[in-house]
Chains A and B, each alone.
Chain A
Amino acid sequence: MILGNYLAAVALFCVGLYVLLTRRNLIKIVMGLSLMEASTYLFIVSLAYRAGSTAPVLVSPPAGKTAKQLAHGNVADPVLQNFCLTAVVIGVAVTAVFLSVVVRIAQHYRTLDADKVRAMRG
């Protein structure tokens, strides 16, 4: 039942959103954003699943099938796997941007509390 995977991804997304809304620690906010990112990976990969399917590889198809038949039959969705593949790499780089901004904020304001990052300082 792949619906369970979808709902797990929704739950993961909501945990990240809750962290974002109720916490003021910048590191935890970045963790919440990463959690939301990870939930989309789970959702995309679950969306690619087909019941009783094989991996989308056209070399040595299962017995009695040609590669052409495989394309029209039961394989996991390769387009969504492509999305997940690139999203992971972009996610790492974006998290690094967040973290470097957090380090600079900590060095400038001497706090990780987002509520205290308000005053203008030279």
Chain B
Amino acid sequence: MTRASIRERGAVAHAAAREATECEPRHRLWVGALLVAGVAAALGVAAAGMPREHAPLPLIARYALDIAIPRWKLTEPVNEIVYGTRGFDTFGETFLLLAAVVSVVVITRPREPRRGYFGEAAAGAREQRQNDPNTASDAAEQEARSAERREQGEQAPSGGEPVETPDATPLGTPAPETAEAMTVVVRNAIRVVLPILAVAGLYLVAWGFSPGGGFPGGAVILGVLLLVYASYGRRKISQVIRPGLIEPLELAGAGLIIMTEFLGLVLMGSFSANWLPLAPMLTPLSGGVAQLFSAAELIEVGTGLTIVVFALLGMSHDWARNDQGEPRGGRRKR
């Protein structure tokens, strides 16, 4: 090891130690503490006045418990409230979720791969070929050519490399993050756990007397996909997790929810009313329209959370140039 490399290592270690001990600046500690104390006092007084464990159930809760069996044939009041009594609330929250998903998709969208006019380079090359190279060049043309050469030299400092034209850049290249597969122990364990988890998630939805239905079911579906991603890498699930498949699925789920709720308005005269025949209790179809809503919610939540999480995981290294005009930190390995 040369002396220079030793010195370099020492400098790196020194910088790392300084970074580790560097204290994060805190701002306006006393103002913050004062404000927080005020909020805590107000919330504490409010919490002390809230109904405690011996208070009677609120009216809406007793109403929901009363009608769960006669009107919906559901033995699970939570499910009856999510998709029945307070179905309009759930309807609104679904579209809050959709709005969040759309914002994440818009924010994480990669920069367009082509940054020039389509076909400009090809058309220019054709025109240049048509020009007769033997015509005499005057002073103005020579100056223009030398200026262009200077400009191109600035763009391609390595010289020998051909300048990339926008036409040569392929569209839709995948994000740079490609996770490696994990060890055989983890992969086999996940192979055993996955089907159990997937069946449990679908069971939550299929039987209407489980609390929540589509909401926890969708979260379980996301968990299944994330386990596959973590253990086997992105390539294994790239067939399933692609915008062309899950984004239409997400919107189909939203459309199914709108249809379910509006058909209640059309057929029964009330938004989110039940318009399906009720099956006997404790069967998969016992909730009527609640079960349809729950299944649509499974699609909506499962695909929505999947889009959101994988959009974050796949955000490309799209760094702005720093002041020296050099992209730093985000350079891709070739």
Contacts and interface: CB of A to CB of B under 8 A. Distances in A.
Instruction: Say if A and B assemble together.
Output: yes
Interface of A: 2-3, 6-7, 9-11, 13-14, 17-18, 21-25, 43, 47, 49-51, 56-59, 67-68, 70-72, 75, 77-79, 81-82, 85-86, 88-90, 92-94, 96-97, 99-101, 103-104, 107-110, 115, 121
Contact of A14 (B43, B57, B309, B319): B43
Contacts of B305: 89, 92-93
A81 B29 contact: no
Contacts of A75: 57, 65, 77
B68 A58 contact: yes
B320 interface: yes
A92 B81 CA distance: 22
Interface stretch (B89-97, B143-151, B156-164): B89-97
Contacts of B90: 86
A107 B320 contact: yes
A78 B61 contact: yes
Contacts of B219: 88-89, 92
Nearest to A107: B319
Contacts of A90: 93, 96-97, 100
Contact of A58 (B32, B36, B76, B329): B76
B24 A21 contact: no
Interface residues of B, number: 77
Nearest to A59: B75
Contacts of A23: 24, 26-27
A50 B57 contact: yes
A7 B44 contact: yes
A97 B104 contact: yes
A88 to B, nearest CB: 8
B58 A79 contact: yes
Max chain A C-beta neighbours (<10 A), residue from B82, B89, B282, B318: B82
Which of A49, A59, A77 is the most central at the interface, judged by chain B CB atoms within 10 Å of its CB? A77
Contact of B216 (A79, A82, A85): A85
Given A13-B43, A22-B27, A57-B75, A85 B211 contact: yes
A78 B75 contact: no
Nearest to A48: B61
Residue of A51, A96, A109 ringed by the most chain B CB atoms within 10 A: A96
B229 interface: no
A121 B124 CA distance: 33
Contact of A24 (B27, B77, B330): B27
Given A86-B215, A97-B100, A78 B77 contact: yes
Q: Which label, helix, strand, loop or mixed, suits the secondary structure of the B interface?
A: helix
B273 interface: no
B133 interface: no
B47 interface: yes
B5 interface: no
Given A21-B32, A85-B216, A107-B330, A77 B57 contact: yes
B40 A11 contact: yes
Given A23-B24, A93-B101, A100 B312 contact: yes
Given A77-B58, A78-B64, A51 B100 contact: no
Contact of B47 (A10, A70, A89): A10
Interface stretch (B10-18, B48-56, B194-202, B234-242): B48-56
B25 interface: yes
A72 B56 CA distance: 9
Contacts of B311: 96, 100
B32 A22 contact: yes
A58 B69 contact: yes
Given A23-B24, A82-B78, A89 B215 contact: yes
A3 B53 CA distance: 9
B108 interface: yes
Nearest to A92: B305
Given A72-B62, A90-B93, A110-B320, A18 B301 contact: no
A35 B15 CA distance: 33
A13 B35 CA distance: 13
